[in-house]
Structure formats: structure tokens, C-alpha cells
């Protein structure tokens, strides 16, 4: 409980920094879970550089972009009723998610050293599956997020993104 109260105090004092660091931490933990529980790499085969890349993506891209999007969305559709949450989810999943994935996947490719040509080919090949996989999980999660979670606590369900993108599409 003390840790939660400390988190709340830090969030109140430095909301943007804490949300960005939280996104980076969640993406790092998500990658560790993916490598250890899904891919079953073991500690010897764990790709530390991949985990670090995910942390940096969370802090430098996902946290700021998603945090900004949530603020814009709450200004555009103020309120927390069920109808408001449904509207936000429709905009988030119909507009933001496709654009976000279209930026996230090439960014991961570039950070993994893909050439522009290879990155474009990978995006064309992987984007449809990543978006369809996104739609299996995130509309329900986002509906609950927009209905139940106050704006200052919302984080990117990517840590969210990592769960919905199969490991073979991330590298």
C-alpha cells in the first residue's frame, strides 16, 4: 500500500514524467514476460538489448504519444458515461490504433537495424496481422479503461502493444 501511495504522490507531482516512465517500465516487463513465458527463452537466451529497446520505446514513443492521445481524446469527448467510453473506444480503435501501429512497427524495425526497404516490406507483411490481433483484445480493454480509469491513471495498454503483437512481428 505504501508503494501505491508513493506512486500516487509522484504521479500528482510529476504526471507526465511518471506516465512516461511507467510506459517504459511496463513495456520492459512485457518484453521480459514475452521472452520468458511465451517464447520460453530462459535467462541465458534472454535478449537484453530487445528488452532495453522496448523500455526506450515506452519512454520515448509510446508513453508520450499515448499519454498525449488520451488527453486529446478526453478534451474531444469529455465525460465518463458508458456512451462516452464507447465513443472514445471507437475513435481510439478506429483511428488511433491503426495509425499508432503504422508508426510503432517501422520504429521497431528501424531500431532493429532494418533498411528502409526491408522495413517497408516488413510493415506491409506484418501490419494486417498485427492490427487484427489488436482487435481481438484492445477494444474491450479500452472500453473498460475509458469507463473505469481516471485520465491521470491511464497508461498505454501497450505494454499493451507488446501483448497484441506476436514476437515474430516485433523483430
Q: Domain locations in the chain?
A: 1-59, 77-154
The three cell numbers of residue 90 are: 471507437
Which residues are within 8 A (CB) of 66 and not within 5 positions of it... i.e. 6 or more apart?
23, 100, 155, 156, 158
Q: What is the pLDDT along the chain (171 residues), one digit of tens a residue?
A: 899 899 889 988 998 899 899 999 999 999 999 999 999 999 999 999 999 999 999 999 999 999 899 989 999 999 889 999 999 999 999 999 999 999 999 999 999 899 999 999 999 999 999 999 999 999 999 999 999 987 777 754 443 444 445 455 555
Q: Is the pTM of this model over 0.75?
A: yes
- Strand positions, DSSP E, the chain: 157-158
Which residues make Cβ contacts (< 8 Å) with residue 55, sequence separation at least 6? 24, 25, 27, 28, 31
Amino acid at each position: 500500500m505504501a508503494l501505491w501511495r508513493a506512486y500516487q504522490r509522484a504521479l500528482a507531482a510529476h504526471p507526465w514524467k511518471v506516465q512516461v516512465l511507467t510506459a517504459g517500465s511496463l513495456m520492459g516487463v512485457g518484453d521480459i514476460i514475452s521472452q520468458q513465458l511465451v517464447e520460453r527463452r530462459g535467462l541465458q537466451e534472454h535478449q537484453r538489448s530487445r528488452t532495453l529497446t522496448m523500455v526506450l520505446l515506452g519512454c520515448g514513443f509510446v508513453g508520450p504519444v499515448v499519454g498525449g492521445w488520451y488527453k486529446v481524446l478526453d478534451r474531444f469527448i469529455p465525460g465518463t458515461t458508458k456512451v462516452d467510453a464507447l465513443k472514445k473506444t471507437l475513435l481510439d480503435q478506429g483511428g488511433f490504433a491503426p495509425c499508432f501501429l503504422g508508426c510503432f512497427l517501422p520504429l521497431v524495425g528501424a531500431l532493429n537495424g532494418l533498411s528502409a526497404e526491408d522495413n517497408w516490406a516488413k510493415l506491409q507483411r506484418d501490419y494486417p496481422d498485427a492490427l487484427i490481433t489488436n482487435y481481438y483484445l484492445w477494444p474491450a480493454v479500452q472500453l473498460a479503461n475509458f469507463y473505469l480509469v481516471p485520465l491521470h491513471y491511464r497508461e498505454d495498454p501497450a505494454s499493451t502493444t507488446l501483448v497484441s503483437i506476436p514476437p515474430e512481428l516485433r523483430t
